[in-house]
């Protein structure tokens, strides 16, 4: 696991967008795994700016989103389908049919999960998977206690996760669905590269546990310590509880000087 620390969420977003654009420019038919939530919004904003300025284009790219709420049709404004259209898909030149998000309103949810997993396999697996992290350590909607060995499956959402996401539902937790379809930890760990983003001090405690703590299903993101190519981008607030020996080797931009491009291996060094 490698670690980079930036001044603020906007700088994390610019760096993440730069990494995604570089992955596309290196392999124009790359398969991206995408995430939703508040955290990646600055990444998608920066990625759209890179697209608008001609630095990247998406005509060969395939995408798979991590998750979707059960019961929401894809045209529901609260669905992750709608989120992705709003923040990325409508702004770039992905080909029709190239973007995949689980169908939360499928009649047969088990079959939808199996088909989603099969579609990822048929695309050759995920090249670069973007991840956020819940305050309880979830990745995708793999909540604490989730099995390590699960592919895409239906999950019950924890109360805290529903509360954390209520702001997308007008602040009304009762409107947040109780279940979701999510890629499993197995699906996520099979991605060739992982890019986890965490910003703000509400994520500092869980990042300390995920990066420095024991690898345990109690903190699903801790499994990233075992992935051969996982990069974590934090802002200074989310990194504030990390031990000095962890952050000493991280690329640290205390002042936002715009996106920094470490030459391979020059600034990045293992955090664990
Ligand atoms: P957030 O959600 O970016 O809205 O904090 C992250 C997550 O739950 O994975």
CB 40 within 8 A of CB 19: no
Nearest atom (ligand 1) to Cα of 200: 5
Residue 68's CB: how many other CB atoms inside 10 A?
Answer: 28
- Specify burial of residue 263 (Cβ count, 10 A radius: 0-12, 13-18, 19+): exposed
CA of 266 from ligand 1 middle (Å) equals: 30
Relative to beta strand 128-131, strand 99-100 is unpaired
Ligand 1 pocket, CB under 6 A: 37-39, 132-134
Please write the tens of the pLDDT for every residue from 233-255. 999 999 999 998 888 777 654 33
pLDDT attached to residue 251: 62
Cα 249 to its chain centre, rounded Å, is 23
Rounded to whole angstroms, the Cα distance separating 33 from 79 reads 17
Predicted local distance difference test score (pLDDT) of residue 2: 92
Residue whose CB lies within 8 A of the most ligand 1 atoms, among 13, 38, 44, 129, for a mutation test: 38
Q: Are 112 and 175 in contact (CB under 8 A)?
A: no
**Is-contact 223 184, C-beta < 8 A?**
no
For 31-83, what is each residue's pLDDT tens digit? 999 999 999 999 999 999 999 999 999 999 999 999 999 999 999 999 999 99
Report which DSSP code applies to 217: T
The pTM (predicted TM-score) of the whole model is: 0.92
Catalytic residue among 81, 138, 153, 227: 138
């Amino acid at each position: 696991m490698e670690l980079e620390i930036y001044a603020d969420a906007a700088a994390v977003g610019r760096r993440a967008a730069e990494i995604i654009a570089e992955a596309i420019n290196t392999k124009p038919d790359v398969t991206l795994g995408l995430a939703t939530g508040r955290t990646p919004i600055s990444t998608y904003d920066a990625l759209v700016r890179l697209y608008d300025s001609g630095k990247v284009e998406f005509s060969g790219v395939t995408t798979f989103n991590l998750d979707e709420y059960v019961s929401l049709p894809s045209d529901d404004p609260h669905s992750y389908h709608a989120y992705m259209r709003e923040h990325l898909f409508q702004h770039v030149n992905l080909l029709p049919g190239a973007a995949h998000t689980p169908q939360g309103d499928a009649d047969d949810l088990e079959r939808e999960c199996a088909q989603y997993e099969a579609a990822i396999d048929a695309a050759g697996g995920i090249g670069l998977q973007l991840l956020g992290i819940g305050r309880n350590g979830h990745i995708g909607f793999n909540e604490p206690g989730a099995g390590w060995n699960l592919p895409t499956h239906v999950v019950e959402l924890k109360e805290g996760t529903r509360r954390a996401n209520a702001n997308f539902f007008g602040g009304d937790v009762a409107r947040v669905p109780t279940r979701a379809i999510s890629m499993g930890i197995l699906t996520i760990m099979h991605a060739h590269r992982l890019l986890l983003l965490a910003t703000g001090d509400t994520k500092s405690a869980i990042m300390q546990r995920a990066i420095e703590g024991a690898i345990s299903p109690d903190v699903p993101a801790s499994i990233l310590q075992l992935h051969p190519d996982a990069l974590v981008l934090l802002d200074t607030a989310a990194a504030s509880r990390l031990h000095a020996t962890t952050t000493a080797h991280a690329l640290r931009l205390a002042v936002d000087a715009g996106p920094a491009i470490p030459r391979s291996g020059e600034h990045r060094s293992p955090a664990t």
